Chain A
Amino acid sequence: MTKEEIITKLPYAKPFLFVDDLIVINENGVEGTFTFDSNLDFYKGHFKNNPITPGVILTETMAQIGLVCLGIYLNEGKEIQNIGFTSSEVEFLKPVFPNEKVTVISEKVYFRFGKLKCNVKMLNEKREEVCSGTLAGMIV
């Protein structure tokens, strides 16, 4: 499956799609990017007059690239009805501001019985780590 096909198979749409491009994908992991458009709605309230990307959105971005894109690839084109986010343990190291482009790098820990667990990190344009952790999701 090509990287473009994987993105078209994602079950998300704007304003909740947090994947722009996939750079590398193989059976051991994935690397992809996303740029946070300054017009995204949550910046109006997080925080008042001080827009910073919420940690939950960074976590979601890591999950969409690191788990969902890789999961679609590993599932080899078989039909996926529903997916669920089952656990996350994430540390946040640096803020991500509007218009920043981030790179997500995910390494598979295992994909067994429909569950995908990965070690995932996010880098900013200076290649500094902004957050990292372990995420898991399941085909349900």
Chain B
Amino acid sequence: MNKEEIIEKLKPIVKPFVKDETAFNAINEKTHFITDLNINSANLVDIVLDVEEAFSIEIDNESMEKMLDLEQTILIIQEKLSTK
């Protein structure tokens, strides 16, 4: 799955946790969940659990800690998909 496809699949997962619509519409590879989208760490856990379900992958603690921006999240999803 390429970056664009992953971003499109991530958008509906992230949307319920973003109050700022302008920031949501500007989502790109460089978007940071906490600083750009104002998502707290508790909601980030829910996002990661939804990512697991949407992509049928399992995220370990070490990967979770890196999933703070779209770029890292995409890399982790691609890595987990490739080792499935």
In-complex Cβ contact of B48 among A87, A113, A136, A140 (8 A): A113
Dominant secondary structure of chain B at its interface with chain A: helix
The count of chain A contact residues (Cβ–Cβ below 8 Å) is 11
Chain A-chain B contacts (Cβ-Cβ < 8 Å), number: 20
A30 within 8 Å of B (CB atoms)? no
Dominant secondary structure of chain A at its interface with chain B: strand
User: Does B40 lie within 8 Å of A113, measured CB to CB?
Assistant: no
CA distance A114 to B49 in the complex (A): 13
CB closest chain-B residue, reference A136: B42
User: Does B40 lie within 8 Å of A110, measured CB to CB?
Assistant: no
B56 within 8 Å of A (CB atoms)? no
CA distance A84 to B45 in the complex (A): 14
Smallest distance from the beta carbon of B58 to chain A beta carbons, Å?
A: 11
B35 within 8 Å of A (CB atoms)? no
Interface centre among B40, B45, B61, B64, by most chain A C-beta atoms within 10 angstroms, is B45
User: Does B49 lie within 8 Å of A138, measured CB to CB?
Assistant: no
A86 within 8 Å of B (CB atoms)? yes
CA distance A136 to B40 in the complex (A): 13
Q: Beyond A112-B45, A113-B45, A113-B61: 5 further Cβ-contacts under 8 Å?
A: A86-B40, A86-B42, A110-B49, A112-B49, A114-B45
B residues whose Cβ falls under 8 Å from a Cβ of A = 40-42, 45, 48-49, 61, 64
